[in-house]
Amino acid sequence: MLPEVYLDALTGPGRLGLTNTLAAQPGQPLRHPEAYSGGLLRSQGVLAPPSLANALLQQAGRRSRQGDARMDLNVYGPEGTFTRLPAWEVLDPERWRGHALKPALKDALVVVGPLEGGRHATAFGPISGLELLATATANSLQGDGLLAWPEAPLGQALLAMAPLALAAALALSRKGFQWRLAVVVAVLALQLAAAVAALNGANRWIPLLAPATGLVLLGVVYGGNAYLLEGRERRRLRRTFERYVAPSVVAEILSDPDSAQGILRGRVLEVTVLFSDLKGFTQLTRRRTAAGQSEAHVNQLNTYLGAMVEVITAHGGTIDKFMGDAVMAVFGSPVSRGARQEAEAAVRCALAMEVRLGELNAAWRQEAEANANANAHAEGADEVFQPLANGVGLASGPVVAGQIGSPQRLEFTVIGDTVNLASRLEGLTRRVATLVCMDTNTARLVEGLEGVEIRSFGEQGVRGMENQSVYGAFARPPAEPAEAATA
């Protein structure tokens, strides 16, 4: 038989209880059924019976240990958490007589009903109406229902804003995306820990959807801002370095922005400096200016400089600056491949520049002849396309590399005795029988370089410096293959 209290609840006078419940709001727990009968209906002036959970407690002579109309359900688990007993096992006298659950039903509150029907969403999955009523009865009996904190909408709004204000204030106290992201994550974790502590310690649930969403959006804003700032900084650095170095070197520099900033601030590097200058170009400029051929003169100079830049860039050099018709390049700044490799690249570059200038002279000569044939009376055609000759000075050693200049105009360059020596060695190409002059350090670094012959010119006087041992670099012609012996 079922307990007497259960039978009385079904048949006794005035023992009605409502099973209706309020639909849960998205992101919020289920309400206690008493919120409908003792809350909503009575607030509208309806004389309604209590919820079934409260009716069972009253019939059993017990009282709820909480204000049910205000409470949310504290769901203990998924569907089937409460002990279940099929009705047919109770109605079958033979089976019920020795049933194992019979002793457990003494003084128990039993809810009877179908398991199919309405489904109510919970954190453990959907539960049936019968499971919901059993949960509500247990909550009332034990007083462990849930209560939102704070209850008032205004308090919940302030609670949602507090973490955002805290995270924003802490994040703005220091710069850097990592710090700001760490603040957002820390506030999220603190909020979650507080919610867990409130739930376990006082059966109070803290609305997390609004503040957590706000913090996530704040993190996204910080991330987007950091992305835009980094992109702008990378573009600035790219514009700065692309004026001097090859795109592949720029990509390597930008792979570590912090290192790039260190490069700009200045440091000591072991490099090879290349100076190239056209011989007799000042006098040529004077003659062409007097002849009214300045535009053609500038065009020829730009063509020459463009070709030299292509050669230097192809060999991994950094264009430091143009000084009229002179070109200064650095091998090993801002990124070095090693002192020996940079020196070898500089020597090969210097020899390639001479070859490229020879090709330009041949093209200019061909163009001048074509113009002369087209207009035999053209004045100064040969003068405009007069072949050019240059000299190259190379020096290896330490330099100071960084952005140098005024706040209004800065340029990335190198300074030091190595730079001055390279410039002086370029001037020596007018006195010694070589187009490529180098110092002792460079000659030692490129010793044994394939396809290059190094010749010593002994000690030479260098303007503004002590006498220096000077060496020349010459392209060594490829060895001719030995003739096959014939029988």
Indicate if the pLDDT at residue 379 is higher than 60: no
371: confidence class by pLDDT, cuts 50, 70, 90: confident
Calculate ∠ Cα 462-446-454, nearest 5°: 65
Kindly state the tokens that stand for 486: 């014939």
Give the global pTM.
Answer: 0.52
CA dihedral 222, 223, 225, 227 (to 10 degrees): 160
Set out the domains of the chain in order of their start, with CATH numbers. Answer: 4-148 (no CATH), 153-238 (no CATH), 258-475 (3.30.70.1230)
pLDDT digits (tens, 9 = 90+) for 262-299: 666 778 889 999 999 998 888 888 988 888 888 888 99
The confidence score (pLDDT) of residue 263 equals 63
Q: Which helix (H) or strand (E) holds 252?
A: helix 247-254
Length of the chain: 487
How confident is the model at residue 308, as a pLDDT? Answer: 94
In this predicted structure, the answer to whether residue 392 has a pLDDT above a threshold of 90 is: yes
- Which of 56-60, 127-131, 153-157, 214-218 shows the lowest per-residue confidence on average (mean pLDDT)? 153-157
Buried b (16+ CB within 10 A) or exposed e, 139-163: bbbeeebbbbbeeeeeebeebbeeb
Mean pLDDT of 346-354: 95
Residues 6+ apart with CB under 8 A from 384: 288, 293, 296, 297, 300, 368
Span 470-486, pLDDT tens digits:
999 998 876 555 554 44
CB 78 within 8 A of CB 127: yes
pLDDT given for residue 3 in this prediction: 38
pLDDT at 4: 38
Distance of CA 433 to the CA centre of its chain: 55
Backbone φ and ψ for 72, nearest 5 degrees, come out as -105, 160
Residue 55: left if φ>0, alpha if ψ -120 to 50, beta else—which one?
A: alpha
Under 8 Å CB-to-CB from 352, ≥6 apart: which residues? Answer: 311, 314, 315
427's enclosing H/E stretch is: helix 417-428
Identify residue 342 by its one-letter amino acid code: E
Between CA 230 and CA 224 the distance in angstroms is: 10
| Among candidate residues 285, 358, 294, the one with its CA nearest the CA of residue 325 | 285
Q: Which two tokens stand for residue 107?
A: 């003084």
Structure confidence at residue 381 as a pLDDT band (50, 70, 90): very low
| pLDDT score at 349 | 96
Q: What is the pLDDT of residues 168-183, one digit of tens each?
A: 888 777 777 788 888 8
Question: How much is the CA Rg of the chain, to the nearest whole Å?
Answer: 45
Q: In this predicted structure, what is the pLDDT of residue 15?
A: 67
pLDDT-wise least confident of 25-34, 199-208, 444-453: 199-208
Using CA atoms, how far apart are residues 39 and 17, in angstroms rounded to an integer?
14
Other beta carbons less than 10 A from residue 27's beta carbon: 9
pLDDT surpassing 50 at residue 44: yes
pLDDT digits (tens, 9 = 90+) for 94-150: 888 888 888 888 888 888 888 775 688 888 888 888 899 999 999 998 888 888 887
Q: Where are the alpha helices (DSSP H) in 412-464?
A: 417-428, 440-445
The residue ranking higher by pLDDT, 344 or 99, is: 344
